[in-house]
């Protein structure tokens, strides 16, 4: 069978002929002619418009025999069908190419297997006419192609290896190298996905080993590592499938697991602690590990928030005696936020002069003469009204704001006492000012006190500073130095809430103290509880034994007053005489007596 009807002798390859060259193609034309593949272009209905030299050389056909004829006639009948059904120009739509393996009939009627690739959609030839491009890959070319493909595969493989290495590096970045558990980033990634999935609440437990550094330091880091591996193993054994166990830092682990509620998280936490409390043998020694655990449960929010809440709960577990589980309570966060807000308001309030002092008289026993007052701070809050110290002193103390607060109080109290001292209508009153622990150990205290006294012209002996036992024992060295300096100025020192702290007799002798204020909790029980009565009596005797005055706080009844008189207590203070009053009310109260 002839390949093409009316085949005739082939022209010299590359000879110029219609359809062989498009005007102005230059280098492209040469490339087209000598490309390593046979190229044809056809009209949309399959008539050959151009053919390259490679194709002519390969098949032995002459260009003039092919131009204008149907391309399909180059194929054996069977392949013609294959071509028309499977391939261009009718196959598919849009861009892209079709490929089919066919046989091409050469000029000598030999059949040459070829991979035929054809554009599905018309392309434009050099002259701008719409054509389809058909490419023949000769078998001998295919060997070369195979090589190329193999090389490509090799390249791909190495590319795959590189990608795999990258994936491995990514994976490693999420892993703790020692235990193989997730690290913090890995845990966060997991939590992110779990929270975003919205499949119900997720619990996070932060497990912090107690005294891990003791193991590390006494048995060495290898033993420490072994302990960590054991912990990792035990935690993994306790959690459900799908849970993630992570190591957050040296001795801090975390577990993320679906947890119905806080109760379930607590149960899980307790299970973890139990698993960890089984002794581990390290270097031949049986070591018992304990851990402090904090849990938090959330349905949404960020992984960081959840971890933070669990971490805060863990800190509470640690502070609360270790080896226990604390569950984060959202209300506590609200309370913390409230405290933070209040702190901001207090800072502003102090600057805006919203602090007020009330004065509670202190009377001598048994005659009831007023000799002094205790200044007690209040905060005139613009919205919440007059706030008692219990609502903000602790906050101020913990934040350090108590320094500013204390200086204001001191200044106002000294100013008021100086005013009374100058007023001939008013008895001269000693004023007692409360100092917090922080204030007592503040190196600026003595300067602040001296400053206030000189500013307002008050004699030092009219000022008493009240310090608690706790303040004295917190930093005895600093307290002793501060008190000695204050004493030097001639200021009186009172030990407040006496009997509730840990100050011993030695402290009383060591510190230059002038009076003991017997705590209200004992005074309340006077005459009611034998124990309290005995304590108050002992306190009075103790004060007198070391040569200081005894002051009873919180005297509310006549009975209490009488008992105190009988014991020889020197001063009394309490609602029985008066509540703390504003300065004008106090002046009124003094006049009325
Ligand atoms: P505190 O120094 O023991 O002050 C005595 C507290 O007992 C005062 O409460 C006073 O109002 C109350 N009180 C007095 N007599 C009676 C009574 O007969 N019955 C009862 N139930 N209570 C009585 P306040 O003013 O609320 O002060 C509470 C605490 O706040 C003070 O305890 C003191 O520790 C602290 N505080 C007050 N003002 C200041 C201050 O200016 N600076 C510092 N650092 N702390 C202060
Ligand atoms: Ca006091
Ligand atoms: Ca007190």
pLDDT value at position 432? 98
Higher pLDDT pick, 293 / 428: 293
pLDDT of residue 153: 61
Residue pLDDT, tens place only, 536-563: 999 999 999 889 999 999 999 999 999 9
Which residue's C-alpha comes closest to atom 23 of ligand 1? 554
Mutate to test the pocket of ligand 1, among 346, 373, 377, 389 (most ligand atoms within 8 A of CB): 389
8 or 124: which leads in pLDDT = 124
Out of 284, 303, 328, a domain closes at 328
Report yes or no on 350 lying in a domain.
Answer: yes
Give pLDDT, residue 8: 34
Residues 387 and 289 in one domain: no
Query: E strands within 21-141?
Result: 38-42, 48-51, 97-105, 111-119, 123-124, 130-137
Are 272 and 378 found together in one domain?
no
Q: How confident is the model at residue 90 (pLDDT cuts 50, 70, 90)?
A: very low
Distance 311 CA to ligand 3 centre (A): 36
**Which of 361, 374, 376, 557 should be mutated for ligand 1, with most atoms under 8 A from CB?**
376
Q: What is the predicted pLDDT for the residue at 152?
A: 58
Query: In the listed set 147, 171, 195, which residue is the last one of a domain according to the structure?
Result: 171
Question: Strands (DSSP E) along 332-457, which ranges?
Answer: 355-364, 370-381, 385-387, 430-434
Q: Give the nearest ligand 1 atom to 466 CA.
A: 2
Q: Are residues 195 and 109 in the same domain?
A: no
Q: Measured in angstroms, how far is the CA atom of residue 407 from the centroid of ligand 3?
A: 20
Residue 334 located in a structural domain: no
Q: Counting atoms of ligand 1 from 1, which one is nearest the CA of 556?
A: 18
* Whether residue 263 is found in the same domain as residue 407: no
Q: Which residue, of 171, 201, 219, is where some domain finishes?
A: 171
Residues 282 and 352 in one domain: no
CA of 57 to the centre of ligand 1 (A): 112
Position 179 in a domain: no
What is the average pLDDT score of the chain? 85
Q: Which 3 state secondary structure label does DSSP give 365?
A: coil
pLDDT at residue 17 tops 50? no
CA of 494 to the centre of ligand 2 (A): 9
Ligand 1 centroid to 374 CA: how many Å?
A: 9
Q: What is the 3-state secondary structure (H, E, C) of 41-53?
A: EECCCCEEEEECH
Say how many Å lie between the CA of residue 534 and the centre of ligand 3.
Answer: 19
Is the same domain home to 374 and 505? Answer: yes
Is ligand 1 within 6 A of the CB of residue 575?
yes
> Is residue 121 scored above 70 in pLDDT?
no
CATH number at residue 348: 3.20.20.450
How far apart are the C-alpha atoms of 99 and 489, rounded to whole Å?
106
Atom of ligand 1 nearest to the CA of 580: 11
Structure tokens at 29: 């034309």
Nearest-atom index, ligand 1, CA of 517: 3
pLDDT grade for 85, boundaries at 50, 70 and 90: very low
Give the number of the ligand closest to the Cα of residue 471: 1
Which residues span the domain enclosing 378?
340-592
Of 121, 580, 179, the residue nearest 388 (C-alpha): 580
Contact (CB, 8 A) for 61 and 31 = no
- 135 SS3 class: strand
| Domain tally, the chain | 3
CA of 549 to the centre of ligand 1 (A): 19
User: Residue 381: inside a domain, yes or no?
Assistant: yes
Separation CA 556–CA 569 (nearest Å): 15
What residues are neighbours of ligand 2 (ion), with CB under 5 Å? 434, 466, 496
Lowest mean pLDDT among 119-133, 434-448, 469-483: 119-133
Under 8 Å CB-to-CB from 506, ≥6 apart: which residues? none
Given a cut of 80, whether residue 239 has pLDDT beyond it is yes
Q: What atom of ligand 1 comes closest to residue 436's alpha carbon?
A: 44
CA of 110 to the centre of ligand 2 (A): 118
β 252-258/111-119 pair status: unpaired
Q: What is the CATH classification number for the domain harbouring 255?
A: 3.30.70.270
Residue 176 lies in a domain: no
Determine the distance separating the centroid of ligand 1 and the alpha carbon of 376, expressed in angstroms: 6
**301 and 373: one domain?**
no
Per-residue pLDDT, 527: 85
Which pLDDT tens digit goes with each residue over 57-72? 888 999 999 999 888 8
Does the pLDDT of residue 184 top 80, yes or no? yes
**Are both 289 and 387 inside the same structural domain?**
no
pLDDT digits (tens, 9 = 90+) for 382-404: 989 999 999 999 989 988 899 99
- Across 505-514, b (16+ Cβ under 10 Å) vs e yields eebbeebebb
Pocket flag, ligand 1, residue 361 (CB < 6 Å): no
The separation between the first and the last C-alpha atoms of the chain, rounded to the nearest angstrom, is 141
Q: Does the C-beta of 216 come closer than 6 Å to ligand 1?
A: no
Share of the chain above pLDDT 90, in %: 51
Identify the residue whose C-alpha is closest to ligand 1 atom 25. Answer: 376
Statement to judge: residues 346 and 300 lie in one domain: no
Q: Is 454 part of a structural domain of the chain? A: yes
pLDDT at 592 over 60: yes
Residue 409 Cβ < 6 Å to ligand 1: yes
Ligand number with the minimum distance to the CA of 432: 2
Whether residues 532 and 419 share a domain: the answer is: yes
* pLDDT digits 0-9 by tens, 453-500: 999 999 999 999 999 888 888 888 888 899 999 999 999 999 998 877
Co-location of 135 and 260 in the same domain? no
- Is residue 114 within 8 A of residue 137, CB to CB? The reply is yes
Could you tell me if the CB of 401 is within 6 A of ligand 1? no
Residue 285 has pLDDT above 70, yes or no: yes
Among 26-30, 165-169, 393-397, the range of highest mean pLDDT: 393-397
**Could you tell me which residues come within 8 angstroms of residue 346 by beta carbon, excluding any fewer than 6 positions away?**
379, 392, 395, 396, 401, 405
What is the rounded average pLDDT of the residues 196-216?
90
240-259 tens-digit pLDDT: 988 999 999 999 999 999 99
Residue 498 lies inside a defined structural domain of this protein: yes
Cβ distance 113 to 140 under 8 Å?
no
* Whether residue 373 sits in one domain with residue 319: no
- Which is higher by pLDDT, 477 or 87? 477
Instruction: Check which CATH number belongs to the domain holding 121 and give it.
Output: 3.30.450.20
Does residue 177 fall inside a structural domain?
Answer: no
How many whole angstroms separate alpha carbon 182 and alpha carbon 173? Answer: 9
> DSSP label at 441?
T
Q: pLDDT value at position 42?
A: 84
Ligand 1 mutation pick, 434, 499, 515, 576, max ligand atoms within 8 A of CB: 434
393 Cβ below 6 A of ligand 1: yes
Residues 127-150 have pLDDT tens digits of: 667 777 777 765 555 555 556 556
Convert the pLDDT of each residue in 506-540 to its tens digit: 777 788 899 999 999 999 999 888 889 999 999 99
Residue whose C-alpha is closest to residue 486's, from 447, 454, 429, 518: 447
Q: Is 397 in the pocket of ligand 1 (CB under 6 A)?
A: no
């Amino acid at each position: 069978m002839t390949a093409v009807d009316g085949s005739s002798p082939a022209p010299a390859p590359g000879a110029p002929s219609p359809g062989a060259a498009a005007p102005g193609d230059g280098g492209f034309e040469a490339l087209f002619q000598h490309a390593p593949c046979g190229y044809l272009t056809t009209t949309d209905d399959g008539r050959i418009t151009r053919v390259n030299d490679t194709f002519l050389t390969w098949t032995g056909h002459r260009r003039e025999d092919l131009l204008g004829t149907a391309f399909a006639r180059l194929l054996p009948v069977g392949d013609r069908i294959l071509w028309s059904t499977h391939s261009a120009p009718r196959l598919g739509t849009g861009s892209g190419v079709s490929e089919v393996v066919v046989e091409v009939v050469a000029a000598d009627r030999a059949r040459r297997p070829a991979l035929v690739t054809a554009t599905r959609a018309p392309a434009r030839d050099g002259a701008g006419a719409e054509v389809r491009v058909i490419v023949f890959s000769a078998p001998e070319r295919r060997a070369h192609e195979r090589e190329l493909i193999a090389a490509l595969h090799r390249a791909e493989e190495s590319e795959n290896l590189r990608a795999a290495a990258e994936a491995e590096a990514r994976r490693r970045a999420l892993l703790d190298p020692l235990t193989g558990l997730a690290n913090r980033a890995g845990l966060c990634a997991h939590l992110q996905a779990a929270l975003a999935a919205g499949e119900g609440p997720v619990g996070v437990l932060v497990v912090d080993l107690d005294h891990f550094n003791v193991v590390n330091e006494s048995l060495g880091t290898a033993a420490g590592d072994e302990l960590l591996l054991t912990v990792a193993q035990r935690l993994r054994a306790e959690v459900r499938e799908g849970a993630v166990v992570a190591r957050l830092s040296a001795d801090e682990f975390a577990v993320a697991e679906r947890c119905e509620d806080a109760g379930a998280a607590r149960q899980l936490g307790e299970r973890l602690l139990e698993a960890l409390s089984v002794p581990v043998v390290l270097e031949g020694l049986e070591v018992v590990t304990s851990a402090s655990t904090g849990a938090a449960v959330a349905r949404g929010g960020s992984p960081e928030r959840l971890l933070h809440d669990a971490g805060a709960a863990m800190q509470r577990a640690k502070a609360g005696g270790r080896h226990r589980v604390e569950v984060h309570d959202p209300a506590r966060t609200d309370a913390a936020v409230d405290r933070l807000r209040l702190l901001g308001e207090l800072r502003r309030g102090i600057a805006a002069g919203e602090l007020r002092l009330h004065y509670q008289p202190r009377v001598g026993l048994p005659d009831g003469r007023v000799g002094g007052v205790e200044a007690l701070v209040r905060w005139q809050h613009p919205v919440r009204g007059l706030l008692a110290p219990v609502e903000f002193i602790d906050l101020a103390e913990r934040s350090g704001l108590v320094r500013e607060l204390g200086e204001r109080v001191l200044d106002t109290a000294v100013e008021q006492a100086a005013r009374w001292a100058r007023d001939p209508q008013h008895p001269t009153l000693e004023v007692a000012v409360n100092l917090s622990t922080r204030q007592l150990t503040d190196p600026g205290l003595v300067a602040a006190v001296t400053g206030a006294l000189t500013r307002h012209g008050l004699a030092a002996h009219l000022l008493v500073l009240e310090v608690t036992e706790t303040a004295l024992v917190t930093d005895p060295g600093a307290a002793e130095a501060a008190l000695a300096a204050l004493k030097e100025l001639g200021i009186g020192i009172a030990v407040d809430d006496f009997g509730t702290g840990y100050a011993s007799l030695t402290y009383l002798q060591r510190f230059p103290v002038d009076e003991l204020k017997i705590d209200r909790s004992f005074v309340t029980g006077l005459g009611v509880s034998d124990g309290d009565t005995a304590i108050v009596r002992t306190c009075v005797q103790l004060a007198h034994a070391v040569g200081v005055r005894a002051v009873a706080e919180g005297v509310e009844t006549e009975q209490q007053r009488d008992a105190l008189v009988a014991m020889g207590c020197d001063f009394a203070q309490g609602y029985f005489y008066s509540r703390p009053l504003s300065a004008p009310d106090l002046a009124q109260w003094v006049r009325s007596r």
